[in-house]
Structure formats: structure tokens, C-alpha cells
Amino acid sequence: QQKVQQSPESLSVPEGGMASLNCTSSDRNFQYFWWYRQHSGEGPKALMSIFSDGDKKEGRFTAHLNKASLHVSLHIRDSQPSDSALYFCAAGASSGSWQLIFGSGTQLTVMP
């Protein structure tokens, strides 16, 4: 079983709608979480990080972290066709390793 699991595998939302992506870790050592976004034909690009419980908002993007349940989510408000991409959740441990563990991704399609 992967240490970082994402759901759903794919998601379609209408333009202007809300997209919600989920990520759960199975390792309590993971304390730092990232969302990366990858457009087709490009490398992943960091979207936002969240290291503390609660919400973190950056423009139309809001991440939510619950460390007790090892669950992190990403909500995209007013989704745009340019948001169509593969979204990765990544987790890192609080000590000892420089390694990020990536989930398998959620493919988001925003329909015009």
C-alpha cells in the first residue's frame, strides 16, 4: 500500500465550479504536506505547502490539513480550464529525511 493515497483518481468539474482533492497518509511521521501541479508535457510545479493544522488560502486555492487523521485536502474555487492538470500530494517526515513521498495523483479536468 502506498504511503500517500490520493482520491479521486480523476475528477471533472464545470468551469466556475469547486474542485476538491483528497490525500491521506498512512505514516504518522509525515508532518509536512505539499500540493504539486503538473500540466501536460511539463514538469510538476509546487502549488502550495501546508505544515500546520487548519486552512491555508492562496488565491482560489485552499488547503486543509488535519494531522490527527493524516488527511490533507485541496479545494479550488472558481475552477478555470487552465486548472486542468495532474495534481500530486506529497508528504515529508518531520525529521531524518529530505525525501518527499508523492501520491499517484488526481487528474482534474475543468470543462468550459
The owner of cell 487552465 is 82
Q: Which is nearer to another protein, 98 or 112 (CB)?
A: 98
32 contacts another protein (rule: CB under 8 A): yes
Taking CB under 8 A as the binding criterion, the range among 16-24, 56-64, 73-81, 99-107 that sits at the site for another protein is 99-107
88 contacts another protein (rule: CB under 8 A): yes
What residues have CB less than 8 Å from 21, skipping those under 6 apart?
Answer: 6, 7, 8, 11, 35, 73, 74, 75, 76, 87, 89, 106, 108
Q: How many CB atoms lie within 10 A of CB 12?
A: 13
Please state, in angstroms and rounded to a whole number, the distance separating the CA atoms of residues 84 and 96: 35
Minimum distance from CB of 98 to another protein (Å)? 5
52 contacts another protein (rule: CB under 8 A): no
Contacting residues toward another protein, per CB under 8 A: 2, 4, 32, 36, 41-46, 49, 51, 88, 90, 92-93, 97-100, 102-105
